[in-house]
């Protein structure tokens, strides 16, 4: 599709906070998300979720629009929001998440006050994203996660490892999760909390008792920092990328949790060697430089080129890192399968 976002500029094409925040709040089990804005904003995102079939469970998420129209734009939309909250509460959710659009932000609706004034039996959580006026898709993810960290109840003593900010719209989200579980299992650990993917409100309330947080990607560092500052929880900045990156991930987990990592690292190296042998036929081929993914993608391309004795050449097909970087050794294997299919086709 010949899209032409002229001229290109960083941040300009990184979407809207609303979609990012909704990708988090709609992953809370049995919660309802309210989009305070015109119905079109809720439709855009719901349609995206529907098309991506990305929900962590079978049923599509419930997104209520406050239905702002011309009247609300002129006279204020707070009554419409209150009505939408009442509608949502009638469905007996575990919580109602209230997200603002650029329209609500531009007309200055006091959403926090509306949420605070309503006495309801379920938590009404204001996620102050403000549509694109609040930043980009990733800013929306960060603000939603940060808001949810405030729900912590310190009387939940369930220490363990927490995954923070899994990409719920990512096609590979579940397979990435299973790869992390496999790596943690090598060290005798398991995932205690997925913050936020299919978690209940009760689950979210024990975020503060986590013993180690693993962020999905470095862009979530503000969330990791906040949890570190408030609860003293150490964090790793990213899921593992690359062969050596995966081994280092194991070492880092071992260091943070006091477990010996040498054995698991040896075991993983052995697995990586076996995996590499299945790709012996790509040796000597040419691979292109990555088109996206930045420095990490470049470093990964160099690492794989060295591992498999590939020549990096401008006109050759790059490793397919469209949208996200491969996670762990399994991610590398799938990446190589897709690339080998590309160069064969």
Q: Counting contacts by CB under 8 A, is residue 62 touching another protein?
A: yes
Residues of this chain, 65-124, that bind another protein according to CB under 8 A: 65-73, 80, 83-84, 87, 102-103, 106-107
Cα separation, 316 vs 294, whole angstroms = 18
The residue (of 38 and 264) whose beta carbon lies closer to another protein is 38
Q: Counting contacts by CB under 8 A, is residue 39 touching another protein?
A: yes
CB of 219 to another protein, least distance (A): 17
CB of 337 to another protein, least distance (A): 24
Q: Counting contacts by CB under 8 A, is residue 50 touching another protein?
A: yes
Q: Counting contacts by CB under 8 A, is residue 38 touching another protein?
A: yes
Which one among 43, 231, 251, 285 touches another protein, defined by CB under 8 A? 43
CB of 216 to another protein, least distance (A): 21
Q: Counting contacts by CB under 8 A, is residue 245 touching another protein?
A: no
The residue (of 36 and 206) whose beta carbon lies closer to another protein is 36
CB of 152 to another protein, least distance (A): 29
The conformation of residue 132, written as its DSSP 8-state character, comes to: G
Q: Counting contacts by CB under 8 A, is residue 15 touching another protein?
A: yes
Which one among 4, 157, 280, 315 touches another protein, defined by CB under 8 A? 4
Q: Which stretch binds another protein (CB under 8 A): 3-11, 201-209, 216-224, 287-295?
A: 3-11
Pairing verdict, β 212-215 and 235-236: parallel
What DSSP string describes 146-214? HHHHTT--TT-----EEEE---TT-TTHHHHHHHHHHHHHHTT--EEEEETSSB-HHHHTTGGG-SEEE
Q: Which stretch binds another protein (CB under 8 A): 60-68, 154-162, 163-171, 256-264?
A: 60-68
Q: Counting contacts by CB under 8 A, is residue 275 touching another protein?
A: no
The Cα angle at residue 114 between residues 22 and 93, in degrees rounded to 5? 50
CB of 141 to another protein, least distance (A): 14
Q: Counting contacts by CB under 8 A, is residue 44 touching another protein?
A: yes
Cα separation, 162 vs 190, whole angstroms = 9
Q: Counting contacts by CB under 8 A, is residue 63 touching another protein?
A: yes
Cα separation, 124 vs 122, whole angstroms = 6
Q: Counting contacts by CB under 8 A, is residue 131 touching another protein?
A: yes
Cα 24–chain centre separation: 7
Q: Which stretch binds another protein (CB under 8 A): 4-12, 143-151, 299-307, 319-327?
A: 4-12
The residue (of 139 and 268) whose beta carbon lies closer to another protein is 139
Cα separation, 244 vs 11, whole angstroms = 31
- Strand (E) or helix (H) holding 64: strand 63-65
Contact 129, 142 (CB under 8 A): no
Crossing angle of helices 262-277 and 328-344, in 10° steps, is 10
The conformation of residue 28, written as its DSSP 8-state character, comes to: B
- Judged by CB under 8 A, the number of residues near another protein is 56
Compute the Cα dihedral for 177, 180, 184, 185 and give only its sign.
Answer: positive
Q: Would residue 287 be called left, alpha or beta, if left means φ above 0 and alpha means ψ between -120 and 50 degrees? A: beta
Using CB under 8 A, list all residues that contact another protein.
1-7, 9, 11-16, 18-19, 37-44, 46-48, 50-51, 60, 62-73, 80, 83-84, 87, 102-103, 106-107, 131-135, 137
């Amino acid at each position: 599709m010949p899209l032409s976002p002229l001229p290109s500029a960083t941040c300009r094409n990184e979407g809207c906070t609303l979609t990012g925040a909704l990708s988090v709040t709609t992953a809370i089990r049995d919660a309802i998300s309210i989009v305070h804005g015109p119905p079109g904003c809720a439709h855009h995102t719901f349609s995206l979720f529907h098309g991506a079939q990305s929900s962590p469970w079978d049923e599509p998420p419930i997104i209520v629009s406050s239905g702002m129209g011309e009247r609300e734009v002129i006279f204020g939309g707070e009554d419409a929001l209150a009505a939408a909250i009442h509608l949502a509460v009638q469905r007996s959710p575990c919580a109602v998440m209230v997200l603002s659009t650029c329209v609500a932000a531009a007309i200055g609706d006091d959403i926090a006050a509306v949420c605070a004034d309503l006495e309801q039996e379920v938590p009404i959580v204001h996620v102050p994203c403000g549509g694109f006026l609040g930043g980009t898709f990733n800013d929306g993810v960060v603000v939603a996660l940060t808001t949810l960290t405030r729900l912590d109840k310190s009387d939940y003593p369930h220490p363990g490892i927490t995954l923070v900010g899994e990409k719920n719209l990512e096609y590979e989200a579940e397979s990435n999760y299973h790869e992390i579980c496999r790596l943690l299992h090598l060290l005798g650990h398991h995932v205690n909390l997925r913050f936020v993917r299919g978690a209940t409100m009760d689950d979210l309330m024990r975020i503060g008792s986590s013993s180690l947080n693993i962020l999905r990607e470095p862009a979530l560092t503000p969330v990791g920092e906040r949890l570190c500052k408030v609860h003293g929880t150490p964090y790793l900045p990213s899921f593992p990328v690359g062969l050596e990156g995966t081994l280092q991930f194991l070492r880092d987990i071992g260091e943070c949790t006091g477990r010996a990592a040498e054995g698991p690292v040896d075991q993983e190296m052995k697995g990586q060697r076996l995996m590499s042998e299945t790709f012996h036929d790509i040796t000597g081929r040419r691979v292109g430089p990555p088109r996206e993914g930045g420095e990490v993608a470049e470093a990964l391309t160099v690492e794989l080129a060295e591992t498999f004795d590939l020549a990096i050449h401008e006109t050759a097909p790059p490793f397919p890192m469209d949208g996200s970087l491969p996670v762990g050794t399994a991610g590398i294997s799938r990446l190589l399968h897709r690339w080998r299919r590309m160069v064969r086709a």
